[in-house]
Structure 1
Amino acid sequence: MSDTRDEIMSATYRALRTHGYADLTMQDIADETELSKAALHYHYDSKQELLESFLDFLYDGFTERVGDPDGETAPERLRALIDAILYPPVEDDDERVAFKTALLELKAQAPYDDGIRDRLRRFDEFLHGEFRDVLDDGIAAGTVRGDVDPDDAARFLVTTLDGASTKQVAVGQEVDCARRMLTAYIERTLTVDGDDGRVAEVDSE
């Protein structure tokens, strides 16, 4: 079913961008494939089941894309992780915002839907773990201050990134400001001596 699943997941992505969560139907998704609605129901009993599978699909791609960020030092890896989250590899800014809008609609269902809530929690837990591990490595290597609490710092970074994405969708606020401020936080608060050689670059952006 791998090829068919990939086709359905791609179709779900396109349909969500076009219709949003509330108005999305199985027929909308089928229309984005060469499958009939009946064939789609053969693989997924309901829109709910399909969207849960879609979130699992996104999770697999997300963890592969942002896990183990590039960089020789912990501050470099933290910045790479932030960029990977704020700027997902899509064709253009409109597509990025359209997809973030669809995800925000899914997040809005989480308080009422255990399946969606559990899957979204996986994203947060994974991301928190990535930041925490990089910070732990930095403390051990002497590039991150020893008095930094990795769990608290990781939670702050994840929460701020989530808020930046929400603001981008809700009120059209660009994420560049969040990137600059988070970069300054890394370089002036987390990094040993408050400077890893890039503060001037942050000020000049």
Structure 2
Amino acid sequence: MALRVTFVAAARSSSLLAERFDDDRPLDQGGWDEVLRAGGELLPLAAAELRYCSPTPRSRATGDAIGCVPLVQLALRDCDMGRWRGLTLGEAMAREPAAVDAWLADPRTAPHGGEPLLAFITRVGDWLDTRPGEDGDRIVAVAEPSVIRAALVYVLKAPPATYWNLDVRPLSTATVTGRAGRWNLRFEGASASRS
């Protein structure tokens, strides 16, 4: 047996086109509406033995709204974007195009003065590897889409550049099973539960 960790992407707090680095805004009305529509599907996750969330207001609110009452985990915070905090990618690009290009090309750099992508992926992976629990325990973690992307890169042992190719939508879920250093991505659905 293994641990089962289901990541839930926080509901939105803005238009996807206006996503900001290190966004700490609360859920907007659209986000609340999304949670209400998806609540029935996500409600069974509240039965997990351990329930966590990243420290953003929208992650906490999403977790509470789906009945998880999650414990805040600082290790699940978004990537520290330094002086780009609060900017959109387009705004950062307009201000510092060479720095943004360097950041996108090399996961070990942090031209914004914050956290390199590789360090972010490692931090989230370390959190995953240190989850307590017994074989078969279910864990739920409500987090920003960026945190889930970092976790999936870690789980798959994929090159850091893979991070940019993962699209995690608000209120989507991703489940991983395993133990420290030995994780598997698990796809589920109606037909998968019959076998």
- TM-score where L is the length of structure 1: 0.30
Q: Which has the higher contact order (CA 8 A, sep 6+)?
A: 2
State which structure, 1 or 2, has the greater radius of gyration over its C-alpha atoms.
Answer: 1
- The TM-score, its normalising length taken from structure 2, stands at 0.31
More strand by share: 2
